[in-house]
Amino acid sequence: MDAERYTVSNEEKGVKLLDFIAQRLGISRNAAKGLLNARHVFVNRKRIWMARHPLRARDVVEIVPHDSRPTKSSISTLYEDDDYIVVNKPAATLSNGPRSLEERLQRQEQSNWPCCVHRLDKDTTGCLLLARHEDALEQAMQLFKRHDVNKVYRALVAGTVKPEEQTIRTPIGDESAVSHVRVLDSTREASHVSVRIETGRTHQIRKHLAGLGHPVIGDRQYGSRSKHSEKLTKVGRQMLHAYGLQIKNPVSGGLIRAKAPLPHDFRRTLRLYGLT
Protein backbone atom coordinates (compact mmCIF):
# COMPACT_ATOMS: atom_id res chain seq x y z
CA MET A 1 0.00 0.00 0.00
CA ASP A 2 1.38 3.42 -0.97
CA ALA A 3 1.93 6.24 1.49
CA GLU A 4 -0.91 8.73 1.85
CA ARG A 5 0.20 12.25 0.89
CA TYR A 6 -1.45 15.52 1.87
CA THR A 7 -0.32 19.03 0.88
CA VAL A 8 -0.83 21.79 3.44
CA SER A 9 -3.08 24.53 2.07
CA ASN A 10 -2.68 28.25 2.71
CA GLU A 11 -5.65 28.08 5.08
CA GLU A 12 -3.92 25.34 7.10
CA LYS A 13 -0.64 27.26 7.50
CA GLY A 14 0.46 27.23 11.14
CA VAL A 15 -1.71 24.24 12.09
CA LYS A 16 0.04 21.78 14.41
CA LEU A 17 0.93 18.43 12.86
CA LEU A 18 -1.25 16.47 15.32
CA ASP A 19 -4.35 18.51 14.46
CA PHE A 20 -3.60 18.34 10.73
CA ILE A 21 -3.46 14.54 10.77
CA ALA A 22 -6.64 14.24 12.85
CA GLN A 23 -8.56 16.59 10.54
CA ARG A 24 -7.32 15.18 7.23
CA LEU A 25 -7.89 11.55 8.22
CA GLY A 26 -11.10 12.25 10.15
CA ILE A 27 -9.78 10.53 13.27
CA SER A 28 -9.44 11.43 16.93
CA ARG A 29 -6.43 13.36 18.25
CA ASN A 30 -5.48 10.30 20.30
CA ALA A 31 -5.42 8.15 17.18
CA ALA A 32 -3.35 10.77 15.37
CA LYS A 33 -0.91 10.85 18.30
CA GLY A 34 -0.58 7.07 17.95
CA LEU A 35 0.58 7.49 14.34
CA LEU A 36 3.18 10.04 15.43
CA ASN A 37 4.40 7.87 18.31
CA ALA A 38 4.73 4.91 15.95
CA ARG A 39 6.92 7.06 13.64
CA HIS A 40 4.54 6.67 10.67
CA VAL A 41 4.54 10.37 9.70
CA PHE A 42 6.92 12.32 7.44
CA VAL A 43 6.92 16.04 6.61
CA ASN A 44 8.77 16.93 3.41
CA ARG A 45 10.32 13.44 3.49
CA LYS A 46 11.67 13.94 7.01
CA ARG A 47 10.30 11.76 9.81
CA ILE A 48 8.52 13.96 12.38
CA TRP A 49 6.95 12.76 15.63
CA MET A 50 6.46 16.07 17.49
CA ALA A 51 2.71 16.67 17.87
CA ARG A 52 3.12 20.47 18.01
CA HIS A 53 5.30 20.70 14.88
CA PRO A 54 3.94 23.76 12.99
CA LEU A 55 3.16 23.26 9.33
CA ARG A 56 3.82 25.68 6.49
CA ALA A 57 1.81 26.17 3.33
CA ARG A 58 2.76 23.60 0.67
CA ASP A 59 4.41 21.26 3.17
CA VAL A 60 3.84 17.63 2.12
CA VAL A 61 2.72 15.32 4.93
CA GLU A 62 3.10 11.60 4.27
CA ILE A 63 1.62 8.79 6.34
CA VAL A 64 3.38 5.55 5.53
CA PRO A 65 1.59 2.18 5.43
CA HIS A 66 0.95 0.72 8.85
CA ASP A 67 -0.84 -2.27 10.30
CA SER A 68 -2.73 -0.44 13.03
CA ARG A 69 -4.60 2.15 10.99
CA PRO A 70 -7.09 4.04 13.16
CA THR A 71 -10.69 3.02 12.69
CA LYS A 72 -12.83 5.17 10.42
CA SER A 73 -15.50 5.22 13.10
CA SER A 74 -13.52 7.74 15.16
CA ILE A 75 -15.25 11.12 15.37
CA SER A 76 -13.07 14.16 14.75
CA THR A 77 -13.65 17.15 17.05
CA LEU A 78 -13.22 20.53 15.35
CA TYR A 79 -14.07 22.79 18.31
CA GLU A 80 -15.15 22.39 21.92
CA ASP A 81 -15.76 24.42 25.06
CA ASP A 82 -17.85 24.01 28.22
CA ASP A 83 -21.11 24.63 26.33
CA TYR A 84 -20.68 23.32 22.78
CA ILE A 85 -18.81 20.90 20.58
CA VAL A 86 -18.42 20.95 16.79
CA VAL A 87 -17.62 17.62 15.17
CA ASN A 88 -16.81 16.58 11.62
CA LYS A 89 -19.78 14.41 10.66
CA PRO A 90 -18.86 11.54 8.35
CA ALA A 91 -21.01 10.40 5.44
CA ALA A 92 -23.66 7.68 5.78
CA THR A 93 -24.35 8.87 9.33
CA LEU A 94 -27.55 10.31 10.79
CA SER A 95 -27.17 13.51 12.84
CA ASN A 96 -29.57 12.37 15.56
CA GLY A 97 -31.98 9.58 16.42
CA PRO A 98 -31.27 5.84 16.68
CA ARG A 99 -27.78 4.76 15.55
CA SER A 100 -26.78 8.39 14.95
CA LEU A 101 -23.67 10.44 15.57
CA GLU A 102 -25.46 12.15 18.47
CA GLU A 103 -26.20 8.78 20.06
CA ARG A 104 -22.58 7.66 19.66
CA LEU A 105 -21.30 10.80 21.39
CA GLN A 106 -23.78 10.40 24.22
CA ARG A 107 -22.70 6.80 24.66
CA GLN A 108 -19.07 7.92 24.86
CA GLU A 109 -19.99 10.54 27.47
CA GLN A 110 -22.33 8.11 29.28
CA SER A 111 -24.87 10.92 29.38
CA ASN A 112 -27.94 12.28 27.59
CA TRP A 113 -25.69 15.07 26.26
CA PRO A 114 -24.45 16.45 23.90
CA CYS A 115 -27.48 17.08 21.65
CA CYS A 116 -27.61 18.36 18.07
CA VAL A 117 -28.44 22.04 17.63
CA HIS A 118 -29.15 21.48 13.91
CA ARG A 119 -28.99 18.59 11.43
CA LEU A 120 -27.09 17.61 8.31
CA ASP A 121 -28.44 15.18 5.72
CA LYS A 122 -27.28 11.60 6.21
CA ASP A 123 -24.81 11.76 3.31
CA THR A 124 -23.67 15.36 3.91
CA THR A 125 -20.37 15.65 5.74
CA GLY A 126 -18.78 18.39 7.83
CA CYS A 127 -19.41 20.80 10.69
CA LEU A 128 -22.16 19.76 13.09
CA LEU A 129 -22.84 21.76 16.28
CA LEU A 130 -23.96 20.02 19.46
CA ALA A 131 -24.81 21.51 22.86
CA ARG A 132 -23.51 20.12 26.13
CA HIS A 133 -26.47 21.18 28.31
CA GLU A 134 -30.11 22.31 28.05
CA ASP A 135 -29.53 26.06 28.35
CA ALA A 136 -26.87 25.94 25.64
CA LEU A 137 -29.20 23.96 23.35
CA GLU A 138 -32.18 26.31 23.76
CA GLN A 139 -30.13 29.48 23.26
CA ALA A 140 -28.29 28.16 20.19
CA MET A 141 -31.52 26.96 18.59
CA GLN A 142 -32.88 30.49 18.92
CA LEU A 143 -29.85 31.83 17.05
CA PHE A 144 -30.46 29.31 14.27
CA LYS A 145 -34.12 30.33 14.07
CA ARG A 146 -33.06 33.98 13.71
CA HIS A 147 -30.42 32.94 11.14
CA ASP A 148 -27.67 34.44 13.32
CA VAL A 149 -25.18 31.86 12.13
CA ASN A 150 -22.66 31.78 9.30
CA LYS A 151 -22.68 28.47 7.44
CA VAL A 152 -20.54 27.79 4.37
CA TYR A 153 -20.70 24.63 2.30
CA ARG A 154 -18.65 23.15 -0.52
CA ALA A 155 -20.37 21.30 -3.34
CA LEU A 156 -19.45 19.61 -6.59
CA VAL A 157 -22.13 20.23 -9.20
CA ALA A 158 -22.82 19.20 -12.77
CA GLY A 159 -21.88 21.61 -15.57
CA THR A 160 -20.27 25.05 -15.73
CA VAL A 161 -21.94 27.45 -13.30
CA LYS A 162 -22.37 31.01 -14.62
CA PRO A 163 -22.26 33.72 -13.48
CA GLU A 164 -19.48 32.83 -11.08
CA GLU A 165 -21.13 34.71 -8.21
CA GLN A 166 -24.89 34.74 -7.73
CA THR A 167 -27.61 34.65 -5.11
CA ILE A 168 -30.54 32.24 -5.28
CA ARG A 169 -33.73 33.40 -3.52
CA THR A 170 -36.21 30.73 -4.62
CA PRO A 171 -38.62 30.01 -1.70
CA ILE A 172 -38.76 26.47 -0.33
CA GLY A 173 -42.07 25.23 1.04
CA ASP A 174 -43.51 28.77 0.91
CA GLU A 175 -40.69 29.97 3.18
CA SER A 176 -37.88 32.34 2.20
CA ALA A 177 -34.57 30.68 1.33
CA VAL A 178 -31.34 32.46 0.38
CA SER A 179 -28.16 30.84 -0.92
CA HIS A 180 -25.05 32.75 -2.07
CA VAL A 181 -23.07 30.75 -4.63
CA ARG A 182 -19.44 31.35 -5.65
CA VAL A 183 -17.52 29.26 -8.18
CA LEU A 184 -14.09 28.07 -7.01
CA ASP A 185 -13.18 26.07 -10.12
CA SER A 186 -15.01 24.73 -13.14
CA THR A 187 -14.71 22.67 -16.31
CA ARG A 188 -17.25 21.97 -19.03
CA GLU A 189 -18.34 18.91 -17.08
CA ALA A 190 -18.50 20.08 -13.47
CA SER A 191 -17.94 22.93 -11.01
CA HIS A 192 -16.59 23.22 -7.46
CA VAL A 193 -18.65 25.84 -5.63
CA SER A 194 -18.83 27.51 -2.23
CA VAL A 195 -22.34 28.14 -0.91
CA ARG A 196 -23.13 30.43 2.01
CA ILE A 197 -26.68 30.10 3.23
CA GLU A 198 -28.68 32.71 5.13
CA THR A 199 -31.48 30.27 5.85
CA GLY A 200 -31.47 26.55 6.60
CA ARG A 201 -34.48 25.05 4.88
CA THR A 202 -34.64 21.29 4.37
CA HIS A 203 -32.43 20.28 1.41
CA GLN A 204 -32.02 24.00 0.60
CA ILE A 205 -28.66 23.82 -1.17
CA ARG A 206 -29.52 20.67 -3.08
CA LYS A 207 -32.86 22.11 -4.24
CA HIS A 208 -31.43 25.52 -5.12
CA LEU A 209 -28.54 24.11 -7.15
CA ALA A 210 -30.78 21.61 -8.93
CA GLY A 211 -33.21 24.44 -9.73
CA LEU A 212 -30.29 26.35 -11.22
CA GLY A 213 -29.71 23.44 -13.58
CA HIS A 214 -26.56 22.31 -11.77
CA PRO A 215 -27.51 19.49 -9.38
CA VAL A 216 -25.02 18.26 -6.80
CA ILE A 217 -22.99 15.42 -8.25
CA GLY A 218 -24.09 12.12 -6.72
CA ASP A 219 -27.47 13.48 -5.56
CA ARG A 220 -29.87 10.61 -6.28
CA GLN A 221 -32.95 12.61 -5.24
CA TYR A 222 -32.58 15.95 -7.03
CA GLY A 223 -29.97 15.07 -9.65
CA SER A 224 -30.82 14.44 -13.28
CA ARG A 225 -31.80 10.83 -13.86
CA SER A 226 -31.59 11.14 -17.63
CA LYS A 227 -27.85 11.84 -17.71
CA HIS A 228 -25.63 8.92 -16.82
CA SER A 229 -21.85 8.82 -17.07
CA GLU A 230 -19.11 6.38 -16.17
CA LYS A 231 -17.66 8.95 -13.76
CA LEU A 232 -20.93 9.28 -11.90
CA THR A 233 -20.94 5.56 -11.16
CA LYS A 234 -17.76 6.14 -9.14
CA VAL A 235 -19.44 8.70 -6.87
CA GLY A 236 -20.97 7.00 -3.84
CA ARG A 237 -22.92 9.91 -2.37
CA GLN A 238 -23.95 13.52 -2.89
CA MET A 239 -20.85 15.73 -2.95
CA LEU A 240 -21.98 18.26 -0.34
CA HIS A 241 -19.82 19.23 2.63
CA ALA A 242 -20.48 21.64 5.53
CA TYR A 243 -17.11 23.36 5.30
CA GLY A 244 -17.35 26.21 7.80
CA LEU A 245 -19.45 27.20 10.82
CA GLN A 246 -19.31 30.42 12.82
CA ILE A 247 -21.72 31.43 15.57
CA LYS A 248 -21.62 33.43 18.77
CA ASN A 249 -21.64 31.35 21.94
CA PRO A 250 -24.87 32.70 23.50
CA VAL A 251 -23.88 31.38 26.92
CA SER A 252 -20.33 32.75 27.30
CA GLY A 253 -20.39 35.46 24.65
CA GLY A 254 -17.35 33.99 22.88
CA LEU A 255 -17.07 33.03 19.23
CA ILE A 256 -17.45 29.48 17.97
CA ARG A 257 -15.56 29.01 14.72
CA ALA A 258 -14.81 25.71 12.98
CA LYS A 259 -13.71 24.43 9.59
CA ALA A 260 -13.95 20.83 8.40
CA PRO A 261 -11.34 19.73 5.83
CA LEU A 262 -12.69 18.23 2.64
CA PRO A 263 -13.17 14.48 3.13
CA HIS A 264 -11.25 11.90 1.15
CA ASP A 265 -14.10 10.96 -1.22
CA PHE A 266 -14.81 14.64 -1.96
CA ARG A 267 -11.17 15.27 -2.86
CA ARG A 268 -11.11 12.08 -4.94
CA THR A 269 -14.16 13.29 -6.87
CA LEU A 270 -12.51 16.68 -7.42
CA ARG A 271 -9.60 14.87 -9.09
CA LEU A 272 -12.01 12.64 -11.04
CA TYR A 273 -13.56 15.71 -12.67
CA GLY A 274 -10.27 17.60 -13.07
CA LEU A 275 -11.15 20.23 -10.43
CA THR A 276 -9.24 21.88 -7.62
Q: Active-site residue numbers? A: 121
Does an H or E element contain 66, and which? none
Q: Is the peptide bond before 250 cis (omega within 30 degrees of 0)?
A: no
Residue type, 169: R
DSSP string computed for 9-34: PGGGTT-BHHHHHHHHHT--HHHHHH
C-alpha separations of 154 from 63, 121, 188 in Å: 26, 14, 19
Asked whether 241 and 263 are in contact (CB, 8 A), the reply is: yes
Asked whether 102 and 59 are in contact (CB, 8 A), the reply is: no
Instruction: List alpha helices for the chain, DSSP H.
Output: 17-25, 29-37, 101-109, 134-145, 204-211, 264-272
